[in-house]
């Protein structure tokens, strides 16, 4: 495997960064994960826009313009021979003697890797459906920034893993579901209405979420953008989640509540197919 590190393509095992990189010391950086299907990036522009927004909110300079960055992304995909998989890219404020305020004249650091993911495995997971647990949302007020500061998300995902679940849906202080530790949360209520939380500072504006909503609009599938309670989640007709690595993934159990008959719901299965068709068309 080959990694890109600040201007160089290096064998993955030799790729490293400085101990005083602010990403390491303060989680002072942002990232993106981009899906690769048939060797092509899905929603490249959406990811670039979100990346630039995250950088802007943290006042980190972009290490280069979007054009050259996209060329490096293509090169990382090519050098790793990725047909189906993901690109991970991370930009931190750079290397400086440890001190909390922004350092002056520091060059932002850019790291990129790519890895293969098996479509077959993804499909098998989707056909079985996954389990989800709920946990309190203990994150900060800027979940709209795709920051590498992910400790609460790590704790949430581990809580899920400890209970043999795939994902943890986080719940805010009002008992409303925010999102998964690395996914957006959706329900289909007993009226058959597709529901997901509106974007705000409380969740990450998922690129998969946005693309699925666009496809639903095109197909005339009705949806509601509103917060939903844990109770609505437990009693939903269907539950699913979205992300760049999971696509649209049916959920068949939430905490102790079996969803529907314990198999992926028909709407979730259809929406996964709609999203997979969208990826095929884009690739
Ligand atoms: N929410 C959070 C907290 C995430 O980390 C992610 C994955 N980056 C998502 C939602 C899904 O976003 P996307 O569809 O852009 O992968």
Collapsing DSSP to helix, strand or coil, 265 comes out as coil
Average pLDDT of 106-133? 97
Average pLDDT of 73-81? 98
pTM for the whole thing?
A: 0.97
Residues 112 and 128 in one domain: no
Domain finish residue from 91, 116, 141 = 116
The pocket around ligand 1, CB under 6 angstroms, is made up of 33, 153, 179, 182-184, 204, 206-209, 242-244
Domain finish residue from 84, 116, 148 = 116
| 173 has catalytic annotation | no
- Residues with Cβ within 8 Å of residue 113, at least 6 apart in sequence: 1, 3, 4, 12, 15, 76, 80, 87, 88
Number of domains into which the chain is organized: 2
Q: What is the pLDDT of residue 80?
A: 98
Quick one: which of 96, 93, 105, 101 has its CA closest to 27? 93
Domain finish residue from 116, 138, 154 = 116
Alpha helices in 103-194 (DSSP H): 119-128, 151-162
Residues 150 and 256 in one domain: yes
Q: What ipTM goes with this model?
A: 0.99
Residues 142 and 265 in one domain: yes
Residue from 54, 196, 244, 278 whose mutation best tests the ligand 1 pocket (most atoms within 8 A of CB) = 244
Q: What is the pLDDT of residue 82?
A: 98
For residue 28, what is the domain's CATH number? 3.30.470.10
Residues 138 and 108 in one domain: no
* Residue 269, both tokens: 């299965």
Which atom from ligand 1 is nearest to the alpha carbon of 207? 15
Residues 89 and 175 in one domain: no
Residues 147 and 242 in one domain: yes
Write out pLDDT tens, residues 126-141.
Answer: 999 999 999 999 999 9
Residues 182, 268: Cα–Cα separation, whole Å: 19
CA–centroid distance, 97 to ligand 1, in Å, is 32
CA–centroid distance, 87 to ligand 1, in Å, is 14
Q: What is the pLDDT of residue 190?
A: 96
CA–centroid distance, 29 to ligand 1, in Å, is 16
Confidence of residue 123 (pLDDT cuts 50, 70, 90): very high
> Domain range holding 139?
122-282
Residues 170 and 146 in one domain: yes
CA–centroid distance, 104 to ligand 1, in Å, is 31
CA–centroid distance, 206 to ligand 1, in Å, is 5
Q: What is the pLDDT of residue 21?
A: 98
Residues 207 and 147 in one domain: yes
* Burial bucket for residue 67 (CB in 10 Å: 0-12, 13-18, 19+): exposed
Residues 39 and 127 in one domain: no
Residue from 182, 202, 203, 213 whose mutation best tests the ligand 1 pocket (most atoms within 8 A of CB) = 182
Q: What is the pLDDT of residue 283?
A: 84
Write out pLDDT tens, residues 191-204.
Answer: 999 999 999 999 99
For residue 200, what is the domain's CATH number? 3.20.10.10
Residues 87 and 132 in one domain: no
- Selected catalytic residue, list 65, 146, 157, 218: 146
Residue from 204, 212, 240 whose mutation best tests the ligand 1 pocket (most atoms within 8 A of CB) = 204
Which atom from ligand 1 is nearest to the alpha carbon of 184? 10
Which residue lies with its CA nearest to atom 7 of ligand 1? Answer: 182
Find the distance separating the first CA and the last CA of the chain, reported in whole Å. 23
């Amino acid at each position: 495997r080959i990694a890109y590190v600040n201007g160089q393509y290096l064998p993955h095992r030799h790729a490293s960064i400085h101990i005083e990189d602010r990403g390491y010391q303060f989680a002072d950086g942002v990232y993106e994960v981009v899906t690769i299907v048939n060797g092509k990036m899905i929603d490249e522009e959406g990811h670039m826009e979100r990346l630039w927004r995250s950088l802007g909110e943290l006042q980190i300079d972009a290490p280069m313009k979007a054009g050259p960055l996209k060329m490096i992304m293509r090169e990382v995909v090519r050098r790793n021979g990725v047909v189906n998989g993901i690109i991970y890219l991370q930009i931190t404020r750079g290397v400086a003697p440890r001190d909390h305020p922004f350092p002056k004249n520091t060059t932002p650091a850019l790291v990129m890797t790519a890895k293969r993911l098996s479509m077959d495995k993804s499909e098998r997971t989707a056909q079985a459906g996954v389990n989800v647990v709920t946990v309190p949302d203990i994150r900060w007020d800027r979940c709209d920034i795709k920051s590498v500061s992910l400790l609460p998300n790590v704790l949430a995902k581990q809580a899920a893993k400890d209970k043999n679940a795939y994902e943890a849906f986080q719940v805010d202080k009002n008992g409303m579901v925010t999102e998964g530790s690395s996914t957006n949360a959706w329900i289909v209520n007993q009226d058959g209405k597709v529901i997901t939380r509106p974007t705000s500072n409380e969740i990450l504006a998922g690129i998969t979420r946005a693309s699925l909503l666009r496809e639903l609009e095109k197909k005339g599938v009705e949806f509601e953008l509103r917060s939903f309670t844990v109770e609505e989640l437990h009693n939903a007709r269907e539950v699913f989640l979205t992300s760049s690595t999971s696509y649209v993934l049916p959920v068949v159990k939430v905490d102790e509540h079996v969803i529907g008959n314990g198999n992926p719901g028909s709407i979730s299965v259809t929406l996964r197919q709609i999203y997979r068709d969208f990826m095929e068309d884009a690739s």
